[in-house]
Amino acid sequence: MKCLNNRAESHLTGQVESEVDGTANGGWVNHGYRGSPPPLPRAVSTIYSPRPHFQGSSDGAYKLDAPRNPEEPSSSSSSSSDQLITKKRRGCCSFVKGLWGTAWTENTVNNREKFVRTTLRELLVYVLFLVDVCLLTYGMTSSSTYYFTKAMTNLFVTTADESGVTFQSIGTMEDFWTYVHGPLLDGLYWTRWYNNQSLDRGDQSFIYYENMLLGVPRMRQIKIKNNSCQVHQDFKNEIIGCFDVYNDKKEDDLSFGLVNGTAWTYHTEKDIKGSSYWGLLTTYSGGGYYQDLNRTKEDSANILTDLMDNLWLDRGTRVVFIDFSVYNANINMFCVIRLVVEFPATGGAIPSYQIRTVKLIRYITTWDYFILGCELVFCVFILYYVVEEILELQIHKFSYFKSIWNILDILVILLAIVAIIFNVFRTVKVDNLLGKLLEQPEIYADFEFLAFWQTQYNNMNAVNLFFAWIKIFKYISFNKTMTQLSSTLARCAKDILGFAIMFFIVFFAYAQLGYLIFGMEVESFSTFVKCIFTQFRIILGDFDYDAIDRANRVLGPIYFVTYVFFVFFVLLNMFLAIINDTYSEVKEELSSQKDELQITDIIKQSYMRAFTRLKLKKEKISDVQKALQSGSGEIEFKDFRETLKEMGHADHEISAAFSQFDRDGNQILDADEQERMKMELEEKRDALNAELNNLGKNYEEKVLEKSPAAPNEPKTSSSRTFVDREQFLRLTRQVLQMENCVAGITSKIELIMEKLELHENSKRIVTNVDSDKSSSDRVDRTKAGRSSRKPADCPDAM
């Protein structure tokens, strides 16, 4: 019985110590939630930093060594090397877990607090990544880009000559030649000031006095073969030639006209390093007949006159391109301009233009080099997320792809890798192009390829930034308010998909009807694709009813009224009804659910643990000071140890504190060592008091924010809803003592129950033995009776 009582007391003591030690590591976690991590098996640090010794076992596990007594000799070099290896292994694992630990790599299913903390850490890292991406994206653009584009548009597109012809008003080949001899040449060559004085820059043109013309402009046309289409038998005598609509297989590649230059001989796309172009009518190849202009206005005018006189444009011409590039050093921007005039088989001309303002030279100013630093940080982030996704993929295998967020992660990473590769390619390519252009300034500066891919690069970054912002929902999904959108869309996805089939059947039926009825007269219905977008515009209220009515006075109103009624009033509102109904269900379910662990709860728990941890440190320092004051003169280790053990301190803590100040190692603290120990204890005690005060102020401010005073009640100290810090800590200690007492009583009751079970088992065993003996006696008596009766029965049997 005495042994059992000793075991119960030791169990109670260990439980109390673990409770006190665990208050700094989850002791104040609200266990009413899904779960909380168990307290770490370590003591709360005070003025010393006890370093537990680990040793490897045969099964690969690591266990804690017993605390070393200062009187014992130091460990061997082998034990210290084992400790070093152990620390390295534990440090590496904790580093990997801390750096790449996510909700997908750690087991957070039954631990709500760990899930929220891990998600918050992921969110913090991702916010830093998002800030870096925003700096990169917006650092590559500028408001000057718009004004640069607008200036070039006004000069080459909207400027008219004396006859009033502008680029946008070109309708015939004659208008084209009028434009190139007038507004085009006037806009390309700026060699004099407005007072007719020379710019003193030779034959180099500076458009608007600020934008340098790079190289020389180029004109290129694409022709179609004669007799590329069939003429009806009745018109063969009147119509000699037939030129079909553009088709790359029917493109003319024969020399014509003067046959003595690039303008009259065909060049393939590979020869001139061209690229295809998507025009208003069709897509054109990068080959054709081209003519480079000169660096002076007079020479270029002579070249254009020569082309016009020799009928460079004819019935076979399907498109003409005018390409040139300018550079503005003030804002470090390139403007690549392409003026396009398409000549359809119907006759006439359709002008269009494309102006790309891009930043091809990246690193000049201090801000540019700051963006370079952000690009390097971006590469580090991408490497970090690549490793993270690989770890998650190794753990979850193919189930990893079941989450839409993981697919979004991979998409963002792939787009980022492509952007990094293109960034390097663009930098090298621009350097080569500029070097070649500086050596030969009279050649055509072909920046069209780079401008096109730079634009695609910017578009890709814009899409990537969009996905990066959407990805934030992945990290704030632990809040039930934030999950309403995703839950609503996920729940009504099947209903919307099924209803969308019916909606688009009706929608495309109306699109075909509009194309067939109005396609010949109304531009917005001229193609089936335009019909689709026009009907979306009608839903939003942007439409031209008069054009529909003019095209067909009977079917036009019928089409419009029935479309608005069925599509807008019926089908579209059914879409909204499905979403609203599902949203109401989701909101009702979420409101009835039990509140899970929130961020505010974690913040409160952190404050509570910090208060308790600092208070325990302060109390242990006070215990050490009492132990110093209890001694007279020199203090021996055994007296110091006995005093602190009575106060509830562990052996390894006492040994660490004593050895820290026992400089000579004689296991005795002399007067100087005691004075030095007292001074350091006072300093640490003052520091802890200051930290407690600061933490208390911050906590009070947080409580005030969460629990403000009543509207009509003055904001005084009496209206606050929190208790004093000292009172709170005193109540905390009382609760711990109560829990320890209850635990002790519970353990004693368990021991009593075990004894009662043992007693009951022993009684059952005795009862069974007695019953077995009695039954065996009855069997023996029965056998004896039978044997005594058998001789008397034998004669009768005979």
DSSP code string of 701-738: HHHHHHSPPPTTS---GGG-----HHHHHHHHHHHHHH
β-strand 54-56 against 206-207: which pairing, if any?
A: unpaired
Which residues are paired to 668 by β-bridges?
A: 636
Distances (CA, A) of 357 to 167, 186, 208, 454: 20, 21, 16, 10
Tell me if 581 is assigned to a ligand binding site.
Answer: no
On whether 651 is known to bind a ligand per the annotation, the reply is no
Question: Is the CA virtual torsion 524, 529, 532, 533 positive or negative?
Answer: negative
Q: Can you list the pairs that 274-282 forms with residues at least 24 positions away whose Cβ atoms lie under 8 Å?
A: 274/220, 275/448, 275/449, 275/452, 277/321, 277/338, 277/340, 279/319, 279/340, 279/342, 279/352, 280/342, 280/350, 280/352, 281/245, 281/246, 281/342, 281/344, 281/350, 282/245, 282/246
> Is 724 known to sit in a ligand binding site?
no
Q: Which of 668, 597, 593 is nearest to 633 (CA)?
A: 668
8 A C-beta contact, residue 263 and residue 312: yes
Angle (deg, nearest 10), helices 599-630 and 671-706:
160
Among 138, 536, 584, 414, smallest CA distance to 406 is for: 414
667: left (phi over 0), alpha (psi -120 to 50) or beta: left
**Closest C-alpha among 223, 179, 443, 216 to residue 312:** 223
The neighbouring-strand residues paired with 206 are 212
Partners of 267 in the β-ladder: 288
Tokens, residue 663: 């400089």
Alpha carbon distance 201, 206 (integer Å): 9
Phi-psi region of 781 (alpha: psi -120 to 50; beta: other; left: phi over 0): alpha
Listed residue (684, 688, 677) closest to 629, CA to CA: 677
List binding-site positions.
Answer: 662, 664, 673
Q: Which residues are annotated as a binding site for Ca(2+)?
A: 662, 664, 673
